[in-house]
Amino acid sequence: MASLSEIAKLLGGALSGEDLFITGISTPDEQLPGTICVLANEKATDKLSGAAAAYIAPSGFKEYNEKPLIRVADTRLSFAKLLEFFFPEKVKPAYISHKASISDSAVLGDNVTVDDFAVIGDGTVIGAGSHIYSGAVIGGNVKIGERCHIYPNVTVYDNVKIGGGARLHAGVVIGGDGFGYVPGAVHTKIPHCGDVVIGDDVEIGANSAVDRATVNSTIIGSGTKIDNLVQIGHNVHIGKGCFIVAQCAIGGSAVIGDYVIIGGQVGIRDHVRVGSYSNIAAQSGLGDDIPERSDYGGSPAVPLKEWGKQIAGLKRLSDLRKRLTALEKTK
Protein backbone atom coordinates (compact mmCIF):
# COMPACT_ATOMS: atom_id res chain seq x y z
CA MET A 1 0.00 0.00 0.00
CA ALA A 2 1.47 3.31 -1.08
CA SER A 3 0.35 6.69 -2.33
CA LEU A 4 0.94 7.62 -5.94
CA SER A 5 2.99 10.66 -4.89
CA GLU A 6 5.23 8.33 -2.88
CA ILE A 7 5.62 6.09 -5.93
CA ALA A 8 6.28 9.05 -8.25
CA LYS A 9 9.04 10.13 -5.89
CA LEU A 10 10.52 6.62 -5.76
CA LEU A 11 10.63 6.46 -9.56
CA GLY A 12 11.64 10.07 -10.16
CA GLY A 13 8.45 10.47 -12.21
CA ALA A 14 5.75 13.11 -12.63
CA LEU A 15 2.25 12.38 -11.33
CA SER A 16 -0.79 13.80 -13.04
CA GLY A 17 -4.22 13.26 -11.52
CA GLU A 18 -5.44 12.32 -8.07
CA ASP A 19 -2.99 11.11 -5.39
CA LEU A 20 -4.67 7.73 -4.72
CA PHE A 21 -3.44 4.93 -2.52
CA ILE A 22 -2.72 1.79 -4.51
CA THR A 23 -2.38 -1.77 -3.31
CA GLY A 24 -0.03 -3.41 -5.78
CA ILE A 25 1.26 -3.76 -9.32
CA SER A 26 -0.41 -5.41 -12.23
CA THR A 27 0.55 -6.17 -15.82
CA PRO A 28 -1.18 -4.60 -18.85
CA ASP A 29 -2.91 -7.86 -19.73
CA GLU A 30 -4.10 -8.66 -16.20
CA GLN A 31 -5.06 -5.40 -14.57
CA LEU A 32 -6.54 -5.63 -11.12
CA PRO A 33 -8.62 -2.94 -9.37
CA GLY A 34 -6.68 -0.89 -6.89
CA THR A 35 -3.32 -1.53 -8.55
CA ILE A 36 -0.94 0.47 -10.68
CA CYS A 37 -0.12 -0.88 -14.12
CA VAL A 38 3.14 -0.24 -16.01
CA LEU A 39 2.71 0.46 -19.73
CA ALA A 40 5.96 -0.43 -21.45
CA ASN A 41 5.77 2.02 -24.35
CA GLU A 42 3.84 4.84 -25.98
CA LYS A 43 1.81 2.55 -28.20
CA ALA A 44 0.10 0.77 -25.32
CA THR A 45 -2.84 3.19 -25.27
CA ASP A 46 -5.33 0.34 -25.73
CA LYS A 47 -4.44 -0.87 -22.24
CA LEU A 48 -5.83 2.31 -20.62
CA SER A 49 -9.31 0.84 -20.53
CA GLY A 50 -8.28 -1.86 -18.07
CA ALA A 51 -9.22 -2.21 -14.41
CA ALA A 52 -6.06 -0.72 -12.93
CA ALA A 53 -6.49 2.37 -10.72
CA ALA A 54 -3.49 4.21 -12.16
CA TYR A 55 -0.82 3.89 -14.84
CA ILE A 56 2.89 4.38 -15.30
CA ALA A 57 3.94 5.37 -18.81
CA PRO A 58 6.97 6.74 -20.66
CA SER A 59 7.47 10.50 -20.51
CA GLY A 60 6.36 10.99 -24.12
CA PHE A 61 3.02 9.24 -23.51
CA LYS A 62 -0.11 10.86 -24.94
CA GLU A 63 -2.29 13.35 -23.08
CA TYR A 64 -4.46 11.36 -20.66
CA ASN A 65 -6.66 12.55 -17.78
CA GLU A 66 -9.11 9.78 -16.98
CA LYS A 67 -7.03 8.14 -14.28
CA PRO A 68 -3.88 9.13 -12.45
CA LEU A 69 -0.72 8.66 -14.52
CA ILE A 70 2.96 8.76 -13.58
CA ARG A 71 5.35 9.61 -16.41
CA VAL A 72 8.83 8.12 -16.01
CA ALA A 73 12.07 8.06 -17.99
CA ASP A 74 12.44 4.27 -18.07
CA THR A 75 9.33 2.14 -17.66
CA ARG A 76 11.18 -1.19 -17.34
CA LEU A 77 13.44 0.14 -14.63
CA SER A 78 10.37 1.57 -12.89
CA PHE A 79 8.72 -1.84 -13.07
CA ALA A 80 11.77 -3.43 -11.44
CA LYS A 81 11.86 -0.77 -8.71
CA LEU A 82 8.14 -1.12 -8.01
CA LEU A 83 8.50 -4.88 -7.65
CA GLU A 84 11.29 -4.40 -5.16
CA PHE A 85 9.19 -1.85 -3.30
CA PHE A 86 6.02 -3.96 -3.08
CA PHE A 87 7.81 -7.26 -2.59
CA PRO A 88 10.87 -6.54 -0.48
CA GLU A 89 13.16 -9.57 -0.40
CA LYS A 90 12.70 -11.44 2.85
CA VAL A 91 16.08 -11.81 4.43
CA LYS A 92 16.08 -14.74 6.80
CA PRO A 93 18.74 -14.88 9.48
CA ALA A 94 21.71 -16.95 8.32
CA TYR A 95 21.92 -20.49 9.60
CA ILE A 96 23.80 -23.68 8.90
CA SER A 97 21.59 -26.75 8.89
CA HIS A 98 22.93 -29.63 10.93
CA LYS A 99 21.46 -31.85 8.19
CA ALA A 100 23.88 -30.41 5.63
CA SER A 101 27.22 -32.07 4.97
CA ILE A 102 30.08 -29.59 5.13
CA SER A 103 33.70 -30.67 4.88
CA ASP A 104 35.87 -29.77 7.85
CA SER A 105 38.26 -28.11 5.43
CA ALA A 106 35.60 -25.92 3.81
CA VAL A 107 35.69 -22.23 4.72
CA LEU A 108 32.41 -20.38 5.09
CA GLY A 109 32.25 -16.56 5.23
CA ASP A 110 30.06 -14.59 7.60
CA ASN A 111 26.32 -15.04 7.39
CA VAL A 112 26.43 -17.95 5.02
CA THR A 113 23.28 -20.09 4.97
CA VAL A 114 23.46 -23.78 4.18
CA ASP A 115 20.17 -25.68 3.93
CA ASP A 116 19.36 -29.32 4.61
CA PHE A 117 21.12 -31.99 2.56
CA ALA A 118 23.41 -29.51 0.85
CA VAL A 119 26.97 -30.78 0.41
CA ILE A 120 30.14 -28.67 0.50
CA GLY A 121 33.39 -30.39 -0.43
CA ASP A 122 36.97 -30.29 0.85
CA GLY A 123 38.80 -27.01 0.64
CA THR A 124 35.81 -25.16 -0.79
CA VAL A 125 35.36 -21.49 0.12
CA ILE A 126 31.92 -19.85 0.28
CA GLY A 127 31.80 -16.03 0.42
CA ALA A 128 29.95 -13.99 3.02
CA GLY A 129 26.18 -13.83 2.77
CA SER A 130 25.88 -16.62 0.25
CA HIS A 131 23.06 -19.15 0.44
CA ILE A 132 23.49 -22.81 -0.50
CA TYR A 133 20.00 -24.31 -0.83
CA SER A 134 18.82 -27.84 -0.12
CA GLY A 135 20.24 -30.60 -2.23
CA ALA A 136 22.92 -28.42 -3.83
CA VAL A 137 26.16 -30.35 -4.17
CA ILE A 138 29.33 -28.24 -4.24
CA GLY A 139 32.50 -30.20 -5.00
CA GLY A 140 35.98 -29.81 -3.61
CA ASN A 141 38.28 -26.81 -4.04
CA VAL A 142 35.41 -24.66 -5.32
CA LYS A 143 35.39 -20.89 -4.75
CA ILE A 144 32.02 -19.17 -4.51
CA GLY A 145 31.91 -15.41 -4.00
CA GLU A 146 29.80 -13.27 -1.70
CA ARG A 147 26.00 -12.91 -1.81
CA CYS A 148 25.49 -15.86 -4.15
CA HIS A 149 22.32 -17.95 -4.42
CA ILE A 150 23.03 -21.57 -5.22
CA TYR A 151 19.49 -22.90 -5.54
CA PRO A 152 18.26 -26.43 -4.79
CA ASN A 153 19.74 -29.44 -6.54
CA VAL A 154 22.47 -27.45 -8.29
CA THR A 155 25.69 -29.39 -8.91
CA VAL A 156 29.07 -27.67 -8.97
CA TYR A 157 31.94 -30.04 -9.79
CA ASP A 158 35.44 -29.69 -8.29
CA ASN A 159 37.71 -26.66 -8.84
CA VAL A 160 35.05 -24.30 -10.22
CA LYS A 161 35.34 -20.57 -9.43
CA ILE A 162 32.23 -18.39 -9.19
CA GLY A 163 32.26 -14.63 -8.56
CA GLY A 164 30.12 -12.54 -6.22
CA GLY A 165 26.39 -12.02 -6.62
CA ALA A 166 25.87 -15.12 -8.76
CA ARG A 167 22.52 -16.89 -8.96
CA LEU A 168 22.55 -20.49 -10.13
CA HIS A 169 18.97 -21.67 -10.43
CA ALA A 170 17.77 -25.14 -9.52
CA GLY A 171 19.26 -28.02 -11.43
CA VAL A 172 22.15 -26.06 -12.93
CA VAL A 173 25.29 -28.13 -13.52
CA ILE A 174 28.67 -26.37 -13.60
CA GLY A 175 31.84 -28.21 -14.50
CA GLY A 176 30.74 -31.53 -15.95
CA ASP A 177 33.09 -33.06 -18.50
CA GLY A 178 32.90 -31.64 -22.00
CA PHE A 179 31.97 -33.77 -24.99
CA GLY A 180 35.41 -34.73 -26.23
CA TYR A 181 36.61 -38.08 -27.53
CA VAL A 182 39.17 -39.49 -29.89
CA PRO A 183 36.85 -41.34 -32.27
CA GLY A 184 37.60 -44.95 -33.10
CA ALA A 185 36.09 -48.40 -32.97
CA VAL A 186 36.23 -47.66 -29.26
CA HIS A 187 36.05 -43.92 -28.60
CA THR A 188 38.76 -42.71 -26.20
CA LYS A 189 37.60 -40.15 -23.67
CA ILE A 190 39.58 -36.91 -23.58
CA PRO A 191 40.03 -36.10 -19.89
CA HIS A 192 38.73 -32.73 -18.79
CA CYS A 193 41.35 -31.36 -16.44
CA GLY A 194 40.55 -27.65 -16.71
CA ASP A 195 37.96 -25.71 -14.78
CA VAL A 196 35.11 -23.21 -15.10
CA VAL A 197 35.54 -19.56 -14.10
CA ILE A 198 32.37 -17.49 -13.71
CA GLY A 199 32.55 -13.74 -13.12
CA ASP A 200 30.49 -11.50 -10.84
CA ASP A 201 26.74 -11.01 -11.02
CA VAL A 202 26.15 -13.87 -13.43
CA GLU A 203 22.70 -15.49 -13.37
CA ILE A 204 22.16 -18.95 -14.86
CA GLY A 205 18.67 -20.37 -15.39
CA ALA A 206 17.25 -23.70 -14.29
CA ASN A 207 18.82 -26.90 -15.63
CA SER A 208 21.48 -25.16 -17.72
CA ALA A 209 24.89 -26.80 -18.02
CA VAL A 210 28.39 -25.35 -18.32
CA ASP A 211 31.14 -27.85 -19.14
CA ARG A 212 34.64 -27.72 -17.71
CA ALA A 213 37.66 -27.15 -19.96
CA THR A 214 40.06 -29.82 -21.16
CA VAL A 215 42.90 -27.60 -19.93
CA ASN A 216 42.66 -23.98 -18.83
CA SER A 217 39.15 -22.63 -18.30
CA THR A 218 35.63 -22.32 -19.58
CA ILE A 219 34.90 -18.65 -18.86
CA ILE A 220 31.68 -16.70 -18.34
CA GLY A 221 32.22 -12.97 -17.99
CA SER A 222 30.76 -10.72 -15.31
CA GLY A 223 27.20 -9.53 -15.68
CA THR A 224 26.28 -12.14 -18.27
CA LYS A 225 22.76 -13.57 -17.91
CA ILE A 226 21.92 -17.07 -19.10
CA ASP A 227 18.40 -18.43 -19.33
CA ASN A 228 17.10 -21.96 -18.64
CA LEU A 229 18.27 -25.17 -20.33
CA VAL A 230 21.27 -23.58 -22.03
CA GLN A 231 24.35 -25.62 -22.95
CA ILE A 232 27.83 -24.07 -22.76
CA GLY A 233 30.57 -26.34 -24.13
CA HIS A 234 34.10 -26.88 -22.84
CA ASN A 235 36.67 -24.09 -23.21
CA VAL A 236 34.01 -21.61 -24.31
CA HIS A 237 34.81 -17.98 -23.46
CA ILE A 238 31.83 -15.68 -22.98
CA GLY A 239 32.39 -11.98 -22.40
CA LYS A 240 30.67 -9.51 -20.11
CA GLY A 241 27.05 -8.46 -20.08
CA CYS A 242 25.74 -11.01 -22.57
CA PHE A 243 22.16 -12.29 -22.72
CA ILE A 244 21.79 -15.93 -23.72
CA VAL A 245 18.17 -16.96 -24.06
CA ALA A 246 16.71 -20.39 -23.27
CA GLN A 247 17.92 -23.60 -24.94
CA CYS A 248 20.91 -22.13 -26.74
CA ALA A 249 23.87 -24.43 -27.30
CA ILE A 250 27.36 -22.97 -27.60
CA GLY A 251 29.89 -25.42 -28.99
CA GLY A 252 33.30 -26.11 -27.49
CA SER A 253 36.00 -23.41 -27.66
CA ALA A 254 33.61 -20.82 -29.11
CA VAL A 255 34.49 -17.24 -28.15
CA ILE A 256 31.63 -14.82 -27.53
CA GLY A 257 32.43 -11.13 -27.04
CA ASP A 258 30.87 -8.63 -24.63
CA TYR A 259 27.22 -7.60 -24.63
CA VAL A 260 26.24 -10.17 -27.22
CA ILE A 261 22.52 -11.07 -27.33
CA ILE A 262 21.77 -14.64 -28.38
CA GLY A 263 18.10 -15.51 -28.97
CA GLY A 264 16.43 -18.71 -27.85
CA GLN A 265 17.39 -22.11 -29.28
CA VAL A 266 20.39 -20.75 -31.17
CA GLY A 267 23.22 -23.16 -31.94
CA ILE A 268 26.80 -21.92 -32.29
CA ARG A 269 29.38 -24.27 -33.78
CA ASP A 270 32.53 -25.08 -31.82
CA HIS A 271 35.49 -22.72 -32.30
CA VAL A 272 33.29 -19.95 -33.76
CA ARG A 273 34.06 -16.36 -32.69
CA VAL A 274 31.24 -13.87 -32.19
CA GLY A 275 32.21 -10.19 -32.01
CA SER A 276 31.02 -7.97 -29.17
CA TYR A 277 27.64 -6.22 -29.33
CA SER A 278 26.35 -8.73 -31.86
CA ASN A 279 22.77 -10.01 -31.95
CA ILE A 280 21.80 -13.47 -33.11
CA ALA A 281 18.13 -14.15 -33.82
CA ALA A 282 16.28 -17.03 -32.16
CA GLN A 283 16.76 -20.51 -33.69
CA SER A 284 19.75 -19.42 -35.75
CA GLY A 285 22.60 -21.79 -36.48
CA LEU A 286 25.92 -19.97 -36.56
CA GLY A 287 28.77 -21.84 -38.21
CA ASP A 288 31.27 -19.07 -38.97
CA ASP A 289 32.95 -16.18 -37.19
CA ILE A 290 31.12 -12.86 -37.20
CA PRO A 291 32.63 -9.44 -36.47
CA GLU A 292 31.62 -6.91 -33.82
CA ARG A 293 28.13 -5.42 -33.96
CA SER A 294 26.81 -8.05 -36.36
CA ASP A 295 23.13 -8.92 -36.60
CA TYR A 296 22.62 -12.47 -37.83
CA GLY A 297 19.68 -14.80 -38.34
CA GLY A 298 18.74 -18.11 -39.98
CA SER A 299 20.19 -21.58 -40.12
CA PRO A 300 22.82 -21.45 -41.47
CA ALA A 301 22.97 -17.89 -40.17
CA VAL A 302 23.47 -14.94 -42.52
CA PRO A 303 23.34 -11.17 -41.92
CA LEU A 304 19.88 -10.24 -40.69
CA LYS A 305 18.97 -8.22 -43.79
CA GLU A 306 20.00 -11.13 -45.99
CA TRP A 307 17.91 -13.46 -43.86
CA GLY A 308 14.90 -11.19 -44.26
CA LYS A 309 15.35 -11.40 -48.04
CA GLN A 310 15.62 -15.18 -47.92
CA ILE A 311 12.38 -15.44 -45.96
CA ALA A 312 10.59 -13.03 -48.28
CA GLY A 313 11.95 -14.93 -51.27
CA LEU A 314 10.75 -18.25 -49.89
CA LYS A 315 7.25 -16.86 -49.54
CA ARG A 316 7.22 -15.74 -53.17
CA LEU A 317 8.75 -18.89 -54.62
CA SER A 318 5.57 -20.28 -56.14
CA ASP A 319 4.85 -16.85 -57.60
CA LEU A 320 8.31 -16.94 -59.17
CA ARG A 321 7.64 -20.33 -60.68
CA LYS A 322 4.33 -19.18 -62.12
CA ARG A 323 5.96 -16.17 -63.74
CA LEU A 324 8.66 -18.37 -65.23
CA THR A 325 6.12 -20.83 -66.60
CA ALA A 326 4.14 -17.98 -68.13
CA LEU A 327 7.29 -16.69 -69.77
CA GLU A 328 8.14 -20.10 -71.14
CA LYS A 329 4.72 -20.33 -72.76
CA THR A 330 5.11 -17.03 -74.58
CA LYS A 331 8.02 -18.38 -76.55
Pairing of strands 113-114, 131-132: parallel
DSSP conformational letter for 179: S
Rounded CA separation 67/52 (Å)? 9
Selecting among 169, 192, 234, 237, the annotated active-site residue is: 234
Cα separation, 70 vs 93, in Å, equals 37
Enumerate residues 99-138 that contact a copy of itself by CB under 8 A: 99, 101, 115-117, 119, 133-135, 137
Query: What residues between 44 and 73 interact with a copy of itself by CB under 8 A?
Result: none
Q: Is 7 in the site for a copy of itself (CB under 8 A)?
A: no
Contact of 50 with 31, CB cutoff 8 Å: yes
The minimum distance between CB 25 and a copy of itself, in angstroms, equals 5
Q: Measure the CA–CA gap between 79 and 83, rounded to whole angstroms.
A: 6
Of residues 19 and 116, the one with the C-beta less far from a copy of itself? 116
* Alpha carbon of residue 174 to chain centroid: 16
CA–CA gap between residue 228 and residue 157 (Å, rounded): 19
The CA-based angle 209-211-217, given to 5 degrees, is 135
Binding mask 306-325 for a copy of itself (x = CB under 8 A): x--xxx-xxxxxx-xx-xx-
Q: Check if 237 is active-site.
A: no
Choice between 18 and 216, CB closer to a copy of itself: 216
Would residue 165 be called left, alpha or beta, if left means φ above 0 and alpha means ψ between -120 and 50 degrees? left
**Min dist. Cβ of residue 63 to a copy of itself (A):** 27
Applying the rule CB under 8 A, the residues between 163 and 182 that interact with a copy of itself are 167, 169-171, 173, 176-177, 179, 181-182
By the rule CB under 8 A, 26 interacts with a copy of itself: yes
Letters for 207-246 (x = contact with a copy of itself by CB under 8 A, - = none) are xxx-x--xxx------x-x-xxx-x-x-x-----x-x-xx
The residue among 111 and 207 lying less far from a copy of itself, judged by its C-beta, is: 207
Residue 293 sits in the site that holds a copy of itself (CB under 8 A): no
Distance of CA 236 to the CA centre of its chain: 17
Tell me which residues are annotated as active site: 234
